[in-house]
Structure 1
């Protein structure tokens, strides 16, 4: 029945504080979060989307008891067709988007991929010449690991999101605000979901970058390069959401 459908999704962005947010929500009253973060249901390109296996998706949640079901898979904002599939599954879905300064996000993303061995090239190369790798990817132009720059075009992604869902079904938050003071951010989210206020949790650090020698630092040249790359999109994001970085 429609009532047991997942009611909200944290749909973005990777390396944007979504793990901490998921942990806060897993402890919050009135919510039934998935049994694990990042279910990767709507970005599954091999599924038959004419008849998706919704039962398998719902199996990741407690038996429906009236609480709002929610999950967090931050690639959904970026990955082609994910948002369209979410809209087909539940047109009333509420989407939470956690944004982080795109330069800091790209650097954190690269460190994660480098630390786990998926990336072997230096950051400076990856955000310049390395972007050409996406043109050899499948689907064309996107990549799950090497999309350090591309995932930071928030204005473009938010425009697509607003083209599929009414604005009153979308809440945009900033990772920097959640980290500094989670209480007000979580109260905004609860109000967005139609839930009563609850006690503010103690701040926490989740998925802090691995301590190791990355062979490089984020340089002023890298920052300036990325600010220039993002300039037009950043203006678009500000026009759409009022959120500004840098």
Structure 2
């Protein structure tokens, strides 16, 4: 991978199937996915990026004869300066965007944080308190996720900003709903955009990654996820730090196996209210998608 720089970025939208698509693409022999899926390297300040470049590159799968290095940080679509930082590193980078009905995306976002215990407020209280603000990189709640529920679904704003910075030939937009209904064809179209062969290893594999959970032991989960060991890390032997890290990971895995079936569902009246929140931005999105030859198929936003 000596002559290849990170050149493929799956940048959003969050809670729209990006983990599954990242895992599918990482199966392709010509694509090396980042082991962290969302390293968010290009959201960091200049001094941090320069000092962490080698570590960032080391996170990509060690494959031979690849054409793409895939970074699937969904914050790149939203966080200020990220796209510019990517283009500074590689002005020939290609970008992938998955769009999901923003109402369903918002529900999934809330269900995720509520299910793991990060969000303790009821739905509308959470929306009013956190939903409309712009997310700030590095300020995720409990080190897990951002609560800016509404802002992440403002695709019209996000796509307008993105297309002002990159050439449309370097952008491929997919619809989450198409991926769910027609996964093989959606993946084939994606591979065609990348000028890659249709790898049967991808097309015959059934993946479903990063599903929202409703955990029994929410407090223990958030405690383990936020556990950093503080200043004590500097005084611990490497072997001890390694063991603690493994124990933390094993603990999180065990907790995620213990779930309850009941989960949050939005009623029809409340769903209509969320539709109205996004209606103006969806008109903006339609204009941007029309420029790309894509029609919006979410019936709730037909006008």
- The two structures have a TM-score, normalised by structure 2, of 0.72
CA contact 2:24–2:207 (8 Å) conserved in 1: no
CA distance in 1, matches of 2:32, 2:49: 27
The residue correspondences of 1:55-66 to structure 2 (distance < 5 A) are: 55-63=54-62, 65-66=64-65
- The secondary structure found in structure 1 opposite 2:152 is helix
Match of 2:16 in 1: 16
- The secondary structure found in structure 2 opposite 1:75 is helix
CA distance in 1, matches of 2:73, 2:264: 29
1:120 maps onto 2:120 in alignment: yes
Match of 2:213 in 1: 210
Match of 1:195 in 2: 196
Most deviating of 24-33 and 204-213: 204-213
State the structure with bigger RCO (CA 8 A, min sep 6), 1 or 2.
1
Match of 1:152 in 2: 153
- The secondary structure found in structure 2 opposite 1:48 is helix
CA distance in 2, matches of 1:106, 1:7: 29
Larger Rg: 2
CA distance in 2, matches of 1:65, 1:202: 22
CA distance in 1, matches of 2:49, 2:197: 37
Tell me: CA distance 1:155–1:52, structure 2 relative to 1, closer, same or farther (3 Å). farther
CA contact 1:9–1:73 (8 Å) conserved in 2: yes
- The secondary structure found in structure 1 opposite 2:11 is strand
Match of 1:230 in 2: 278
CA contact 1:43–1:79 (8 Å) conserved in 2: yes
Match of 1:70 in 2: 70
The structural deviation recorded for 1:89 is: 1.4
Deviation per residue, 1:98-121 (Å, 9 max, x gap): 111111111111111112221111
CA contact 2:111–2:264 (8 Å) conserved in 1: no
CA distance in 1, matches of 2:62, 2:210: 29
Long gaps (5+) in structure 1: none
> RMSD between aligned alpha carbons?
2.7
CA distance in 2, matches of 1:49, 1:205: 33
Long gaps (5+) in structure 2: 215-259
1:221 maps onto 2:220 in alignment: no
CA contact 1:237–1:243 (8 Å) conserved in 2: no
Tell me: CA distance 1:3–1:240, structure 2 relative to 1, closer, same or farther (3 Å). farther
Count of residue pairs brought into register by the alignment: 242
Match of 1:179 in 2: 180
CA distance in 1, matches of 2:149, 2:295: 20
CA distance in 2, matches of 1:215, 1:35: 30
Match of 1:92 in 2: 92
Most deviating of 179-188 and 194-203: 194-203
- The two structures have a TM-score, normalised by structure 1, of 0.87
